[in-house]
Amino acid sequence: MIIFPAIDIIGGQCVRLVKGDYATASKVAEDPLETARKFEAAGAEWIHMVDLDGAKAGYPVNTEIYRNIAQNTHLKVEVGGGIRTLETIQAYLDLGIARVILGSVALKNPQLVADAVAKFGADKIVVGIDAKNEMVATEGWLETSEVNYIDLAKEMIKAGVKTFIFTDISKDGTLSGVNAEQLRKLAEATAGQCNIVASGGVHTIEDIRICRDLGLYGTIAGKSLYQGTLDLSEAIREADTLKIRRMKIEDYDALYQMWIACGNGLNNLDDSREGIEKYLKRNPETSFVAEAENGVIAGAVLCGHDGRRGYIQHMCVDPQFRRRGIGRRLVDAALAALRTEGIHKVALVAFKKNALGNAFWEAEGFTLREDLNYRNLALTDMVRIDPDYC
């Protein structure tokens, strides 16, 4: 489960509200960028940001702040508040924003949501469902509709939406605990169809455990972080539901799609389903996948050996899960398995053109060798990654 630290902005200032009431706005931090950097240093990979001025005005107001954070940190930024048109969505994405949150427009103009998903992809569009007494609220929570929050979620799923942020407004900013019952009902009503992020009421680490155990995709934490009732690093550790397990041929379709998405060059023979199946039959104990929320394959390492030397053929992590230490954990699993089989020397087969992947291996202690090639691949020798290897 992903922890999303939150920064809400009014007049360029970091604030928090109580139950969405603008009159309760209180400043919680001095500088948005420095606050974001502190969250990043604590281990966050995402940051949740809301333009409260924009939510009230119906158009973006504090855009420069979001651009600054997106371009001057490694955080993935999601932004909501006042986003009403495809042009606004495009402008945010062009600034490096990872995804945008559509709130009021989901109820008032559902066709725009469908158009946004079709144009930009479901991974770029989030729908925020904010409710009072289970009824959807809009316009910066200033208006309440007669639409049930679960009914809106079901309609948005039909429009192609894959990720929702659900906020119980009565809980927001109160530090009174998450509304586990409403989250449970939403999760059960949409099981297997979408990702759910909990928002509102997070107080202590127990709220993180509740959301994790509900199988949610993420949890937003705001006031609890600023007031110190929740430690971000601890929350991130507690939320980790990642499972490292041995690779199976049944994983192939998901793996192939991930390899393509990561830009890994593949050859037709070894990387076909049949080729991978033969590889796994020869080396059934040494290849691993990282399985994340809802059974999603977040990363994989394809590893084998010839009795003398181990080979890591592929290692990649889905972009949305990077910065979570998955690559390191996959490598550790592969090395431990090779050690069990008596292998103490390892080489890596890496694509010369895969600059991002090569940078990872170099940072882990591998040295690229340009003099040895295999099907246009650069052979990389491991020189230092574990005291037992050379």
Q: Which residues are tagged catalytic?
A: 8, 130
Residues 6+ apart with CB under 8 A from 160: 114, 117, 118, 122
The H or E element that residue 374 is part of is strand 366-374
Question: Which DSSP letter does residue 74 get?
Answer: S
Nearest-Å Rg of the Cα atoms of the chain is 23
| Rounded distance between C-alpha atoms, residue 29 and residue 12, angstroms | 11
**Bridge partners, residue 346, by sequence:** 310
* Identity of the residue numbered 62: N
DSSP for 139-204 reads TTTTEEEEEEHHHHHHHHHHTT--EEEEEETTTTTS-S---HHHHHHHHHHTTTT-EEEEES---S
The answer to whether 245 and 284 have CB atoms below 8 angstroms apart is no
Q: DSSP character for 379?
A: E
Which of 377, 304, 317 lies closest to 346 in space, CA to CA? 304
Contact, 137 vs 143, CB < 8 A?
A: yes
Residue 282, token pair as written in the block:
């020869």
